[in-house]
Each structure stands twice: as structure tokens, then as C-alpha cells.
Amino acid sequence: MNIFVINSGSSSLKYQLFRFPAEQPLCSGLVERIGLENSIITHKVFPATEEEQVVRRTLALPDHRAGLQQVLQLLTDAEIGILRAPGEVEVVGHRVVHGGESFAATTIITPEVKHEIRRLFPLAPLHNPANYLGIEVAEQIFPQARQVAVFDTAFHQTLPEHAFRYALPEELYREQGIRVYGFHGTSHRYVAARAAAYLGQSEARLITVHLGNGCSIAAVRGGVSVDTSMGFGPLAGLVMGTRSGDIDPSVIFHLMGQLGYDAEQVADLLNKHSGMLGLTGNSDMRDIGHALEAGDPRAALAYEMYAYRIKKYIGAYAAVLGGLDALIFTAGVGENDALVRRLACQDLGFLGIQLDESVNALRAPGLREINHPESRVKLLIIPTNEELEIAKQCAELLGVNM
């Protein structure tokens, strides 16, 4: 079965093509700067017996439809194409960020499902409209394919009520849906499943730490999410590239009441100008790492704050789980920044966490252990693969043997 996975952003389109049950993609790509005259397409093909082929094109793409049409041309190209015709795509899997309480599982897209995704726009105004646009365009380009939605929030719909409710008047939950939803669920689900399989423990108590430009952490027991750091929106929890993470709400009142900020300015400040960017002037951990090496005290403090917040959540979630079998680091920073991992695990021996610093400092591909042999808790690096997880959920929904 050919499954085409789309992650549609406001001005970008990421994609991968899988031929299940094989889990290695046939091709992948990224369309950037949609709507501008200098849009960029980077398309990679992974032949079975040759090195990957890379095609880069700069051209004017006025909208997502034009971008996906160009992708289709590459997919069916006479020389590097994977498909003979668009009809060979049997399923299109879409990443949809917010499913609210309506969607706790992967879902075949129907007019009713599309209506509900539109209704949820206010809960994810930066993401759901772009995801919805990807669905609309894919329906036009691949009219014969079944369209499937995979929701980032779905994995966290298993949170117990005492974990997902806020201590606010009940009508704000019942009538307005104000509660913890959590995000990065596709990534947390993928690495948790891989960790459980690696450990051979279906009921494993896991903490999964997703550290990219956006960061979140989840407590997972037996493959089920029981708590997570992001909340009603993706702002809460860990310190992130440009987002503040947890903050005393009184700061917001002060910004508005004493400093003259309006609601839009506060949202812009906390989402786009805070986090590591606010602390150091940079949002990319690689740049902050270079500044740290050069002796920048702001970079040193930022690293300490970033790791300290992770450590606090590790302790809290170990308590929630009643113990811990494995701690998993994933996503760009989690997989590649040895210092973050070292600082986050420092002085956690009382929880059974002992990092092997020499192994942690090494770079190596794939799933690997970085714990000391005497550590009671496994410390794992597991590269995330959200596109593969989306494809797997589509295949599972449609009964494809894997």
C-alpha cells in the first residue's frame, strides 16, 4: 500500500512516501516559502541499491496546490519518479495538530470530520487552518485516495481527569473545552512504543522527552499517556526555543496592568520572543552551544534553566508513575545535545538514573543506551519519526498487515 504523508504548515509542506509494510520511505521532501516568488522544493529519493538522489528547485509557488502539483510531478518524473500515476497513492495521511476532545484516535476524513477540524480552529489558530488546507489540496490532487487524519493531541486523550482538568470553574471546561490537551503526541507515541519493544516490557513506566524548537515531556505507562507538560496550547511546560514554558500568570497581569501590553502583545512575547531566544538572543541550541563555549554567561544560565526545568518534570513524572523503567530523549536537541542530557540527568541517582558520560558524549545513529551499566533506569536516545508513525497509524486503521 502506498501511503503519502503530509505535514502542512502555513507556508510549508513536508512529505514522505511509504510503500507499506516497508518502513523505509521511498522519498521525502520539503516545500518552503509557499506564496513567494522564490519558493524552494527539496526532494530526496532513496533507491534500494544506490545513494539518495536530491533535487532542489527554486520557483514561484503561489499556494499549496501549486506546491503539491510540483511534488506530484517529481513523484511521477520519468527519471527519478517513484509512481507512474497519481492513482497509485492509495492513502494520504495528514498531521493535524489539534483534535480537541472529538478525536482520540486516527480517523478517516469525511465531511463531518472536516467540519469538526474547522470548528477546532480557535484551539490551534496557527496550525489547524494550515493542516486543513493540506487536506483540501490533497483531496484535489489525489481524489482516488483515502484521506486520513492523525491528531497530535490524540495520544494524550488518555490522561485521567485529575490530570487534564484545570482548577477553574467547571463551566469553562464543560462549555468552552478549557483543559489540558497536550501536543507532540505522535512523537511521544512513536518513541514510547520503540522503547517498550526494546525493553521487552509492554507495561513499562516511561518518561519521553521531546526536545526540538518546541519541547514537551510525557509520562507513559503501558503505552498510555498519563500526563504531559503542554496544556491547553503548546506554550506550557519546558523552556523552548522561543516559548517561555511555565510562567506565573501574575506576570501576564503585570504586563497588561502595569506595562500596557495588550493580549496580542503578551501572546507574541511569550510564544515568539521568550524561551532561549529571550534569554540569549538565539533560539537555535547549536548557536547557544557555541556561545557557551566562547564563555557567554547568558548561554550558561540558559542551559542551566533549560535542563533544570526538564529535571523538575522528570522528578514529578517519576512520582506520577510510581517509579521509572526508562527515560527517553528524542527530537533535534534531545538526540544531539549531550550537555542538555547530562545536565538533565545530573544528581538523579536517587531515582536510579546514572548517566554514562563517555557514552553520552558520543554521536551515533539509531536507538542507543547512554546509561551507566549500574543504572537501574535505562537512559535511551531514540530518534523520532513522526511521518513513519503517521503512516503506521494509517496502515493500522485500514487493516494493512505490518
| Ordered structural domains, the chain, with CATH | 2-151 (3.30.420.40), 200-386 (3.30.420.40)
Radius of gyration of the chain measured on its C-alpha atoms: 22
The model scores a pTM over 0.85: yes
3-class state of residue 16 by DSSP: strand
Q: Which of 22-36, 44-58, 237-251, 321-335 has the lowest mean pLDDT?
A: 44-58
Whether 120 contacts 102, CB under 8 Å: yes
Tell me if residue 152 is catalytic.
Answer: yes
Is 212 one of the annotated binding-site residues?
Answer: yes
pLDDT at 123: 85
Q: What is the number of alpha carbons within 13 Å of residue 310 lying toward its C-beta? A: 31
Is 402 one of the annotated binding-site residues?
Answer: no
Residue 4, strand partner residues: 17, 92
pLDDT at 402: 56
Q: What is the pLDDT of residues 95-142, one digit of tens each?
A: 999 999 999 999 999 999 999 999 999 888 878 888 998 899 999 999
Q: What is the pLDDT of residues 247-256, one digit of tens each?
A: 999 999 999 9
Q: How far apart are CA 332 and CA 56, in angstroms?
A: 23
Is residue 302 scored above 60 in pLDDT? yes
Name the active-site residue from 63, 77, 152, 347: 152
Q: How far apart are CA 3 and CA 297, in angstroms?
A: 48
Q: How far apart are CA 188 and CA 229, in angstroms?
A: 12
Q: How far apart are CA 109 and CA 146, in angstroms?
A: 8
Is 246 one of the annotated binding-site residues?
Answer: no
pLDDT at 317: 98
Is 305 one of the annotated binding-site residues?
Answer: no
Is 119 one of the annotated binding-site residues?
Answer: no
